[in-house]
Amino acid sequence: MVAARTRVLADAGPFASLRSVIAGIVEESAPDAEMLLDVGSGTGQYTAACLDRLPAAYGVGIDLSKVCARSTARAHPRLAGIVADAWSRLPLAGESVDTLISVFSPRNVDDFARVLRGGGRLVVAAPETGHLRELIEPMGMLRVGEDKYDALRTSTAHAFAEVSSQIVTYRSDVGESAIADLVGMGPSAFHLSSDEICSRARSLAGSSTVPVTIAVRATVLRRR
């Protein structure tokens, strides 16, 4: 799963544009940030892109997977990786973080508010209903719920005020191997064997490519 994420999030991968947009949002919302926290950091590539835009900042990535934490620590010279459960008390001091990012990951809202400084920013990226829609049925992938944005607003309202929200959408042409990685990097991989994923990807793309929709909502919230 980590290998699939690394390949998909590479500079030429289908999420390269999204990674750049998120890094730009973080830079614009907190240009003077000194400490960046990524909860559910995965391979650390989103965090690394943000740190490239913030030359004075340091970052910490938290993930439940030891493999992901190691990958995060290798992703950037100013980035550290910690193995921890996002749903437990985060292993950081209160009000020690300027900006927190959550990309396709769990949101422990109360503890996010605890570790963020007053006025600190929370940047959330979550898939929209049309995300990877061309792959959902043929690849047996899990569908994205329609109420994610409403759920985000409801769950954060007591601790955060919304600053901005935008939908990032574009199409990317992907081949057989990239399709297999897009399935293998997410929760759908737990429902299919590797052989089945590869077989379906081969049937779908053949020797050509398939245009796939990337649709993600990026929301910036300010700690009250």
Best CA proximity match to 89, nearest among 130, 39, 129, 44: 39
What is the share, in percent, of the chain residues with pLDDT greater than 70? 99
**218 falls in which pLDDT band (50, 70, 90)?**
very high
pLDDT at residue 190, as a whole number: 64
Between CA 215 and CA 191 the distance in angstroms is 23
In angstroms, the first-to-last Cα distance of the chain is: 36
> What residues have CB less than 8 Å from 157, skipping those under 6 apart?
none
**120 falls in which pLDDT band (50, 70, 90)?**
very high
Contact 18, 45 (CB under 8 A): no
Confidence check: pLDDT of 10 > 90: no
What is the share, in percent, of the chain residues with pLDDT greater than 90? 82
- Residue-wise pLDDT tens digits, 167-215: 999 999 999 999 999 998 877 656 778 888 999 999 999 889 999 999 9
Domains, in order of start, for the chain: 11-132+142-171+212-223 (3.40.50.150)
Between CA 216 and CA 133 the distance in angstroms is 12
Between CA 218 and CA 111 the distance in angstroms is 20
Between CA 83 and CA 141 the distance in angstroms is 28
State whether residue 41 is helix, strand or coil. Answer: coil
Q: Rg (Cα) of the chain, in Å, rounded? A: 17
DSSP 119-141: EEEEEEEEE-TTTTHHHHHHHTP
pLDDT at residue 193, as a whole number: 82
Question: Which residues make beta-bridge pairs with 124?
Answer: 102, 219
**Residue in the structure block whose two tokens are 């992901």:** 68
- Residue-wise pLDDT tens digits, 52-96: 999 999 999 999 999 999 999 999 999 999 999 999 999 999 999
What are the phi and psi torsion angles at 55 (to 5°)? -65, -20
Between CA 96 and CA 120 the distance in angstroms is 10
pLDDT at residue 19, as a whole number: 94
Lowest mean pLDDT among 19-28, 62-71, 136-145: 136-145
Mean of the per-residue pLDDT values for the chain? 93
**Residue in the structure block whose two tokens are 């909860």:** 39
pLDDT at residue 161, as a whole number: 98
| CA-CA-CA-CA torsion sign (76, 77, 81, 86) | negative
DSSP 8-state assignment for residue 102: E
Higher confidence at residue 3 or residue 44? 44
Q: Is the pTM of this model over 0.85?
A: yes
Question: Which residues make beta-bridge pairs with 60?
Answer: 37, 80
Strands 35-39 and 97-103: parallel
